[in-house]
């Protein structure tokens, strides 16, 4: 596995195995995790607690299924009742958070893609004494919003990692596809790419409408013959971009963020150049575990700093190995 070295513009090799050991829509959207899918083991002998996880996921997104699986596994171990809900519209996400504040849950896990919409309701959670952890997006405002820990990737750093890798490949004119306008994490990713390759151009698409995504990317590739790379910020977007590339006969390389089994197979098959994995399974698992540790002993992991779960590069050198884990639902 290759990790981006934040001290400069090179990639550094890291042995991950030991580190990993240490370390709905509002109607419950996403893949339901069956009890038999979870590993057998001893459940913590602590009192049961209830934790709500509220994300900005759209229904059916495989990335969020992976986060949820990690959270479910930690919950099974920690004697935690986990309630999962999501809504991509920030106002409705805030309403979901408020619902669980009123219910008096023992902990809240939240994504901060559009933090301004959540500021007031998270203040209510803090007033109610409900411990808060954030994941995935909004790490730069997490502490100010009342979270004692944030688990995720540094999005601008991840974008720089993509830019560095594309630069190594000789790419000079990437198009960075943003599938949710106003999402601070996605904007930061493209900003990071542009930091390394200034000619990077942003292209906005509607990520909840894959037909529109395909037509917009196809039109852009047809109109921009100079584009030599297309950077997707989500695995399904990258797979759609690969189809558009094939249909247009474009020579643009496809790079991505995030991972699912289809994308890992695409890297193995060389239709996708590489992806940057933020290891979302860890985000879900570690967030639940952090709230459990906080409840049982007042522990606050991270020392006020974000706990990074990426970026990690998946390319032809390791995709075959990663594919197995992706097929098992943990990558």
Q: What pLDDT digit, counting tens, does each position of 57-89 carry?
A: 988 788 899 999 999 999 999 999 999 999 999
Average confidence (pLDDT) over 223-231: 96
pLDDT at 112: 96
**Cβ-Cβ contacts under 8 Å for 136 (sequence gap 6 or more):** 55, 67, 111, 113, 151, 152, 185, 278, 280, 283
**Cβ-Cβ contacts under 8 Å for 219 (sequence gap 6 or more):** none
Q: Are residues 22 and 149 in the same domain?
A: yes
Q: Are residues 146 and 286 in the same domain?
A: yes
pLDDT at 37: 52
**Cβ-Cβ contacts under 8 Å for 3 (sequence gap 6 or more):** 11, 12, 13, 14, 310, 311, 312, 313
Q: Are residues 162 and 147 in the same domain?
A: no
pLDDT at 4: 43
Partnered with residue 149 across adjacent β-strands are 133
Q: Are residues 78 and 225 in the same domain?
A: no
Q: What mean pLDDT, rounded, does the chain reach?
A: 88
Q: What pLDDT digit, counting tens, does each position of 158-211 carry?
A: 999 999 999 999 999 999 999 998 898 899 999 999 999 999 999 999 998 999
Q: How many domains does the chain have?
A: 2
Question: Residue 59 sits in a domain of what CATH number?
Answer: 3.40.50.2300
Residue 326 lies in a domain: no
Q: Are residues 143 and 250 in the same domain?
A: no
DSSP 254: E
Residue 246 falls in which region: left (phi positive, over 0), alpha (psi -120 to 50) or beta: alpha
- Could you list the residue range(s) of the whole structural domain that residue 296 is in? 18-153+279-309
pLDDT at 144 > cutoff 70: yes
Element (H, E) at 327: helix 319-327
Cα 72 from chain centroid (whole Å) = 16
Residue 5 lies in a domain: no
Q: Are residues 302 and 261 in the same domain?
A: no
Q: Are residues 144 and 242 in the same domain?
A: no
pTM over 0.85? The answer is no
Structure confidence at residue 39 as a pLDDT band (50, 70, 90): low
Average confidence (pLDDT) over 5-17: 34
Q: Are residues 36 and 175 in the same domain?
A: no
Give percent of the chain above pLDDT 90. 79
Placement of tokens 């809240």 in the chain: 108
Residue 67 lies in a domain: yes
pLDDT at 21 > cutoff 90: no
Residue 331 lies in a domain: no
Q: What pLDDT digit, counting tens, does each position of 109-120 carry?
A: 999 999 999 999
Q: What pLDDT digit, counting tens, does each position of 257-316 carry?
A: 999 999 999 999 999 999 999 999 999 999 999 999 999 999 999 998 999 998 889 999
DSSP 95-130: HHHHHHHHHT-SEEEEE-SSGGGTHHHHHHHHHTT-
Q: What pLDDT digit, counting tens, does each position of 148-173 carry?
A: 999 999 999 999 999 999 999 999 99
Residue 323 lies in a domain: no
């Amino acid at each position: 596995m290759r990790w981006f070295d934040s001290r400069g513009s090179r990639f550094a090799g890291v042995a991950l195995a030991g580190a990993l050991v240490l370390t709905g829509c509002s109607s419950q959207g996403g893949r339901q995790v069956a009890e038999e899918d979870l590993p057998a083991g001893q459940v913590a002998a602590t009192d049961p607690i209830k934790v709500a996880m509220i994300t900005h996921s759209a229904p059916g997104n495989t990335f969020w299924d992976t986060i949820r699986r990690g959270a479910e596994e930690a919950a099974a171990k920690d004697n935690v009742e986990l309630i999962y809900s999501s809504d991509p519209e920030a106002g409705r996400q805030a309403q979901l958070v408020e619902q669980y504040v009123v219910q008096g849950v023992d902990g809240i896990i939240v994504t901060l893609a559009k933090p301004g919409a959540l500021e007031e309701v998270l203040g209510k959670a803090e007033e109610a004494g409900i411990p808060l952890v954030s994941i995935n997006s909004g790490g730069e405002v997490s502490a100010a919003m009342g979270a004692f820990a944030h688990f995720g990737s540094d999005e601008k750093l991840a974008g720089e990692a993509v830019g560095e890798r594309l630069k190594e490949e000789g790419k000079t004119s990437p198009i960075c596809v943003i599938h949710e306008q106003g999402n601070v994490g996605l904007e930061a990713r493209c900003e990071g790419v542009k930091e390394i390759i200034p000619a990077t151009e942003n292209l906005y698409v509607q990520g909840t409408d894959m037909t529109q995504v395909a037509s917009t990317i196809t039109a852009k590739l047809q109109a921009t013959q100079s584009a030599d790379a297309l950077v997707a910020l989500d695995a399904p977007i990258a797979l759609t971009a690969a189809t558009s590339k094939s249909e247009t006969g474009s020579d643009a390389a496809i790079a991505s963020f995030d991972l699912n089994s289809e994308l890992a197979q695409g890297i193995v098959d060389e239709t996708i150049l590489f992806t940057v994995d933020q290891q979302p399974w860890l985000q879900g698992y570690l967030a639940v575990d952090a709230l459990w540790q906080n409840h049982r002993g007042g522990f606050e992991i991270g020392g006020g700093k974000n706990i990074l779960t990426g970026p990690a590069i998946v390319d032809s050198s390791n995709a075959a190995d990663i594919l197995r884990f992706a097929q098992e639902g943990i990558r």
